[in-house]
Structure 1
Amino acid sequence: MTIEEILAGESKNVEFKETLPEKSIKYMKSVVAFANGTGGKIIFGITDKTREVVGFDKEDVFKKMDAIANAVSDSCEPAIIPDITLQTVDGKTVIVVEVSEGRQRPYYIKALGRDGGVYVRVAGTTRLADEYMIKELLFEGSNRYYDQALCTGLNVTDEDIDVLCKAMKEQAVKNARTEEQKAAIKDVGRQQLRSWGILIERDGKDYPSNAFAILTGNGGLHVATQCGVFKGTTKAVFVDRREYTGPLWEQIDEAFQFVLRNIHLGAAIVGIYRQDVYEIPPDAIRELIINAMVHRSYLDHGTIQVAVYDNRLEITSPGKLPMGQTMERMKEGYSKIRNEALAHAFAYMNLIEHWGSGIPRIIDKVKAAGLREPEFIGGEVDLRINIYRGQVDGTVDLNNAIKVPDTIGKMPDSGNKVPDKTEIVPDNIKKMPDSGNEVPDTTEKIPDSEREQQIYKYVLENGSITTAETVEILDVKHRRARAVLLNMVKDGYLRKEGAARSTIYVKNTEGR
C-alpha cells in the first residue's frame, strides 16, 4: 500500500484499524460486508482519523496474523478465507487483510445468525443489511433470478396469457427499426414464455412468475415510475410530478414523453430543411429509462425516479449493482443481467439490442451532442445517472447549423437559457411554460396523457370538439370519449359549452 493510498483515507473498499481489537466482532462486520460486496481491505496498524502509520512490533505481528485468521474462520458463515499479508509503510509493519467478493451469499456472523448478522458496505461504512438486501444476496448466492420465481397470490387465465403475447408482439412491431426487422418478428406463445421464465409449468398448468406480474403491472408488486420537475438543482421545490403504473412498456413511453415535455426543444436549419433538436438526445433518454426498467431490483420496494432539474436529467433505479458488476465495467459495456426473464422479453419487443451495448451507446450519443459525459453515482443501494444540460463549451451550436427557436410546440424550459452565438429568429408563437421559473399568464401547459394531448391539439387547431369527433379521433366508445373530455374539463384544459346534442368543448382560457 502506498502513502498516497493511505492519505486518501478510508473508502468503499478500504478500512483502517489502529490496533487489533480484543473483540473480533468490531472488524468481523466489515469482513462479512466486503464478502457480500465487491471485496475490500482492512489495514491494521493505521489510525482511521489521522491516517498515521503506527504499525506493529515485529516480535508479535505473526501472532496477530494468526489471531485474525482464526477469528475469521470461527466467526463467519459460509467460510471466508482472506488473504493476510504484511506490508512495510514508512518503515513500519502493517497487516493487510484482503477479502474477495464472495459467491456463496449471504455471508453473516455466526453468533448473530442470518437474520441479524448480514452486513453490507454503503458509502464507505458497514451497515446491517435490511430484509430486501438479504433476499437479493440469497438470489445472487444461489444463482437464481427473482423475476423467474413464482409470483404467489397471482392467478392468470388463458385470456391473460393471450393478451400479454399479443401486446408483446405489438410492441415488437412498433419498436422495429427497419422493415426487415419488422418482417422477422414471430408470434410469441406459451412455450416461449416458459423458456424465458415468464410462465412456470407445473403438473400441466401454467403459473405466472414475478416477471409476468412486473410486465403487465398486475400481481400487487406496485411497480411504478415517478417523474418530477424541480426548480433549481435540488428537490426542495416541486414544479410538477407524476406517477405512472401499468405495463412496463407504457411506463417507458409515459416517462419518456414526460422528459421531452420538460426539456428544451430548439431547431436546426440544415440546407433548406428544419430539424427539431432536443438539448438531450431523445434516444439516450429512452435508453436510460429502458435500462433502469430492465436492470433495477424488483425486490426493492422503491420506484424508478426520473427527475428534471434546471441543470440536469437524473434517473435513479433501485437496488445495488448485481454481483460481479462495477461502474467501470458497466461503462465499458460489460452486461450483468439481474432480471433474465425481463431481458428476454425486452429483447423480443425490440426495446434493447445487444446486451451490454446500452450504456456505451448512451455515453457516445450524449458526448456527440456536445454534452458532458453522463455521471454515474452510487451502486451500493441504488444507481443514479445524471445527464447535464447545456453544451460543454457553453454554446448551443450543433454541427455548425443555424439554430432557431422552435416556433411550433416548444417544450417547457426548466433550465437556464444558454447563450447562443448563432443568429436568433424571434419566436412569435405562444411557447410552452417554463417549468423551472415563474411563468407569465400567456403561457400554457399541455395534458400529460397522450390521448388528451390529441384532443387538446385538435381543439387548438379547430377551436372546439364534440363527443362524436372525440370518438372518431381516439377510436373509442362514446362513453369513454365523454369520460376523457370531462376529465380534461376537471383538470382545467377544456371548458364545456352548450347542452345535450349542442354540447361542445373549447379551450379553457380561465386560470391557465
Structure 2
Amino acid sequence: MKSKGKEKGTYVRVGGTSRLADPEKIRELEYEGERVSWDEQICINYPVTEAAVKKLCRDINRYRKEMQEIRENAGTRPRVTRTQLINWNVLKKRENGYLASNAFALLTGKYFHYSKTQCAVFAGTERGEFIDKQEYDGPLYEQIENAYSFVLRNIRRSARVEGLVRKEKYELPPAAIREMIINAQCHRNFLDSSCVQVALYDDRLEVTSPGGLCFGLTLEEAMSGRSKQRNRVIAEVFNQIGLIEAWGTGLRNIRRAAAAYHLPEPEFIEMPETFRVNLFRKGIAEKVDYSAGIIAEDSEEIRRSFGENSEEFRGNFGGTSEELRRNFGEASEEFRENFREKQEELNDTQKKIIQLLSTDGSRTAAELSEKIGITRRSIEMNIRNLKDRGILVRHGPAKGGYWEVKKQK
C-alpha cells in the first residue's frame, strides 16, 4: 500500500492471513526483488585469511569423502580449492585480492553473534526445567554436527541382533534428526537475529528456524517438493558437501523416516517469523521392547537368550548346522566365544582413535577428526561406542579432562 509508505504499507501472507511486514522481512523482499540473496553479499571488514580458506576447503573435502563412503552412488568429485569457492560466490575476486561473502563468514568463524544453535532438553512437554542445554557457534556445518550429536546423546537407544550382527537403534530416526537440523540452518533468515533452536521434550523433538518459509513458498508447496532457496550460497556449499539435495526433498525425507520408524506423522508449523518441525517420540507405553534382542554380555545370558546348543542357535538365526559349525565352531561353547569375538571387533576408525588416545589422552574430538580425516560427528559416535564397551574411560570434565584407554583382553 503505497499511501502508507514502505514500513506501514508492506504486508506478507502467512498461512491464511496477511500480516504487516517487519523491517527484516522488508529487507528480504528487497533482496528477492533484486534476485540476490543475503548470504552472497560482501561481508564488510571480514578478513579472508589463507588459513581460513584452507580450513574450509579441507573440511569440505573431508565431508565429501565421508559422503562417498556412505553413499554408493555419490561418485568421486575433484578436490575443492579457492577456485571453487569463487565459483560458488563464497569468495569475491577483486584486483587487489579477495573479499568475503556473508556465507564465507558463516562457514569459517563466529562473526555474526546470532549465528548459533541453542540446544536443550526439557523435563516434561513444555519449556521449563532444563535437564541439559548447550549453545554452539562457529562454522555452520560444525553447528549441525554438534546439535545432531547433542540429540543422539539425549535420546534412548537399544541394541538388537539381526542375524549375527549387533545393531544399535535410536528411538528417533537419525536421518530425520539430521535433516531437521540441516534444513533449519540452510533455510533460516539471517536477517533475523534469533538463533536456531533444537529442543527435546518427553514427547517430541522440536527444531525451530528463524524466518519462516522462504518468501512466496507455501507450506503445501514445500511439502509437495517445491524448492526455493533463501540462502543460495549456503545451499550450494551444502549441496556440494552432500548435506542436502537440490530437489526439495527435505520435508518429505523427514516424513518417510518417521513412517519407517512407525512414529506419528511429523508436524510442520509455519508461524509469522519462524518455521518449526516436530518429530514425535513414542509414548512410554508404546516403546518397543528390545530386551530379547540385546547382545548378552556373558555365557549365561547368551544361553538364556539364544539357546544352549547349536540346534537352538540355528532356530534363532537360521541356516544349517553345517554352516554354523563351519563358521562358528563345533561346540556351543566355541560358538558362543566366536560369536562374542565377532561382536567385539573394532573398526578401522576405532583402532585409529585408540592408537591416538594411547599416546595423548587429552586429544579432543576436533583434533581426532583432523588426524583421522573424518567428521567430528563420526569421531563422537565411535568414541561413544568405545566408551559403552569399556574400552575408553573419561576422567575429568568435558573441557580439561582426558581419555584413558583400558587394556583389551
Q: Distance in 2 between matches of 1:246 and 1:356?
A: 26
Q: Which amino acid aligns with 2:176?
A: A
Unmatched 5+ residue regions in structure 2? Answer: 298-303, 306-349, 372-393
Instruction: Using structure 1 for the length normalisation, give the TM-score.
Output: 0.57
Sort the Cα spacing of 1:219 and 1:159 in 2 relative to 1 into closer, same or farther, 3 A.
same
1:276 aligns with 2:168: yes
2:129 paired residue number: 237
After TM superposition, the structure 1 stretch with the greater mean CA deviation from structure 2, 264-273 or 117-126, is 117-126
| 1:319 equivalent among 189, 211, 223 | 211
| 2:251 equivalent among 359, 364, 387 | 359
SS in 2 for 1:213: helix
User: What are the within-5 Å matches in structure 2 for residues 259-298 of structure 1?
Assistant: 259-298=151-190
1:489 aligns with 2:391: no
2:52 paired residue number: 160
User: What are the within-5 Å matches in structure 2 for residues 93-492 of structure 1?
Assistant: 110-111=3-4, 113-120=5-12, 127-178=19-70, 184-203=76-95, 205-390=97-282, 394-396=286-288, 403-404=292-293, 468-470=360-362, 489=396
Do the aligned partners of 1:265 and 1:276 also contact (CA within 8 Å) in 2?
yes
User: What are the within-5 Å matches in structure 2 for residues 493-504 of structure 1?
Assistant: none
Deviation at 1:328, TM superposition (A): 1.4
Instruction: Using structure 2 for the length normalisation, give the TM-score.
Output: 0.70
Do the aligned partners of 1:276 and 1:406 also contact (CA within 8 Å) in 2?
no
Map Cα deviations across residues 456-503 of structure 1 (whole Å, 9 max, x no partner).
x98xxxxxx9984446996699xxxxxxxxx963569969xxxxxxxx
1:483 paired residue number: none
Count matched residues: 328
Map Cα deviations across residues 59-88 of structure 1 (whole Å, 9 max, x no partner).
xxxxxxxxxxxxxxxxx23xxxxxxxxxxx
Sort the Cα spacing of 1:137 and 1:197 in 2 relative to 1 into closer, same or farther, 3 A.
same
Do the aligned partners of 1:197 and 1:209 also contact (CA within 8 Å) in 2?
yes
Q: Which amino acid aligns with 2:107?
A: L
Q: Distance in 2 between matches of 1:268 and 1:384?
A: 32
Q: Distance in 1 between matches of 2:364 and 2:138?
A: 25
Q: Distance in 1 between matches of 2:179 and 2:296?
A: 28
Q: Distance in 1 between matches of 2:279 and 2:81?
A: 39
2:375 paired residue number: none
Q: Which has the higher contact order (CA 8 A, sep 6+)?
A: 2
Do the aligned partners of 2:68 and 2:75 also contact (CA within 8 Å) in 1?
no
Do the aligned partners of 2:179 and 2:250 also contact (CA within 8 Å) in 1?
yes
User: What are the within-5 Å matches in structure 2 for residues 52-63 of structure 1?
Assistant: none
Q: Which amino acid aligns with 2:133?
A: R
SS in 2 for 1:347: helix
Identity, % of aligned positions: 39
Q: Distance in 2 between matches of 1:300 and 1:335?
A: 21
Deviation at 1:358, TM superposition (A): 1.9
Do the aligned partners of 1:370 and 1:391 also contact (CA within 8 Å) in 2?
no
Q: Which amino acid aligns with 1:136?
A: E
Sort the Cα spacing of 1:150 and 1:403 in 2 relative to 1 into closer, same or farther, 3 A.
farther
Considering fraction of residues, name the structure with more helix: 2
Q: Distance in 2 between matches of 1:311 and 1:246?
A: 30
SS in 2 for 1:169: helix
Do the aligned partners of 2:161 and 2:294 also contact (CA within 8 Å) in 1?
no
SS in 2 for 1:176: helix
Q: Distance in 1 between matches of 2:26 and 2:362?
A: 51
Do the aligned partners of 1:370 and 1:392 also contact (CA within 8 Å) in 2?
no
